[in-house]
Amino acid sequence: MTADSHLPSRDELEALSESGFALAIQLLSHHEDAADVVQDALRKLVHSGRYKAQKGSPLAWFLKVVRNSALDTLRQRRPNDDEALARLAATAPAPDIAVELEELAGIMRRQLEAMPVAQREIVLLRDFHDLSYTEIAEVLGIAPGTVMSRLHRARNELRKRMKKYLK
Amino acid sequence: MKHDCQETEPLISGYLDGELTQSDRQRVDLILEDCEQCSLAFAEMKKLRKGVGSLSFDQLTETEKSNMTKNATSGAGSNLGQFLAITGLILVYGVGACWLSWELITDAKFADTGDTKDKVPMFIRFGLPTLIGGVGILFFTVLFQRLKAAKTDKYTDVQF
């Protein structure tokens, strides 16, 4: 890529698609849907021509597009899909067996999936994607001052769900 | 340090993420030294944060990644092609249609030569320009609708 080009390089696009896919799969739990969402977001990124002309972080912009698109996909799904996820979460094994089987990560993933999307996404944006509070505010379209309290509420929810496994 | 755990708890998240001001950080340091409940919350949240950070999720295959990048960038070329085609069409159609309509309406050739063989029948003189005008209006209406739809696409408004 040339220095003055507004188009991202192939490596930059691949890095963005990896992060975007991670967020999409975390929200949608469906490989093809997540891939479609990322493909659309990449197209928007390339067509917008604003990759190098941005003020903030390109990753935050990209994740914002992925997130909005993933939420649209979630809305179009049948309402009982969320119930299916909740049922899936309820099938987590008992704590002692789980620890023995070293499935703590699996349990945490299921508990995250069972949480409301608004709480799940803020925890993942911070703890998995490692975004700053300013970037999280950009992705979620909220005031930066509200990120800390929202994140804390979401972490408390996860803490409550994982309480028996944290000892 | 005297404090209300409920009220100060959100600061624990900020502390964990290194997003507090120096004075708030010092305040949380003191709270964590004194308060068992806050200290437990901090320890558990730290553990959860580490756990979430090390989770693994389904990933894109190398082929999928490569295809996605290819599709996204090839789309940019087709967009440029679309832009050039529309611009060319507007120029050719706009200028050509106006010139042809003017020639027909004024029956320019007959006016020059005065030869009755060059005289254009009345229904063509006025019918063809009307047809050209109608098609032109339809084309531009659809084009403007498409442009308006593209502008109101909520994702294109996302700013960096």
Last residue of a domain, one of A55, A77, A99: A77
**Mean pLDDT along residues B59-78:** 81
Residues A67-106: tens digit of each pLDDT: 999 999 988 876 655 555 554 444 444 555 545 445 788 8
Q: How far off is chain B from A73, nearest CA to CA, in Å?
A: 14
Residues from chain B that touch A108, judged by Cβ atoms under 8 A, are 48, 51-52, 55
Q: Which two structure tokens, joined as six digits, stand for B38?
A: 């806050």
Query: What is this model's ipTM?
Result: 0.79
**Mean pLDDT along residues B4-10:** 83
Same-domain pairing of A112 and A164: yes
Over chain B, what is the mean pLDDT? 83
Chain B contact probe: residue of A1, A18, A19, A21 with most B CBs at under 10 A: A21
Sign of the four-CA dihedral B116, B117, B120, B123: positive
Residues B26-67: tens digit of each pLDDT: 999 999 999 999 999 999 999 999 999 999 888 999 999 888
**Mean pLDDT along residues B93-99:** 84
Q: Using a pLDDT cut of 70, give the percent of chain B over it.
A: 88
Distance (Å, rounded) from C-alpha A20 to C-alpha B64?
13
Same-domain pairing of A156 and A134: yes
Asked if the Cβ–Cβ distance from B17 to A126 is below 8 Å, we say yes
Last residue of a domain, one of A61, A77, A93: A77
Measured CA angle at B52 (ends B50, B55), to 5 deg: 110
**Mean pLDDT along residues A103-130:** 92
Produce one character per residue of B129-150: b if its CB has 16 or more CB atoms within 10 Å, e if not.
beebeeebeeeeeeeeeeeeee
Q: Are A121 and A27 in contact (CB under 8 A)?
A: yes
Same-domain pairing of A83 and A162: yes
| Domain interval for residue A145 | 79-167
Asked if the Cβ–Cβ distance from A68 to B58 is below 8 Å, we say no
Produce one character per residue of B81-100: b if its CB has 16 or more CB atoms within 10 Å, e if not.
eeeeeeeeeeeeeeeebeee
Number of domains making up chain A: 2
Looking at residue A89, which CATH number applies to its domain? Answer: 1.10.10.10
Same-domain pairing of A72 and A88: no
Distance (Å, rounded) from C-alpha A42 to C-alpha B78?
15
Sign of the four-CA dihedral B87, B90, B96, B102: negative
Asked if the Cβ–Cβ distance from A68 to B154 is below 8 Å, we say yes
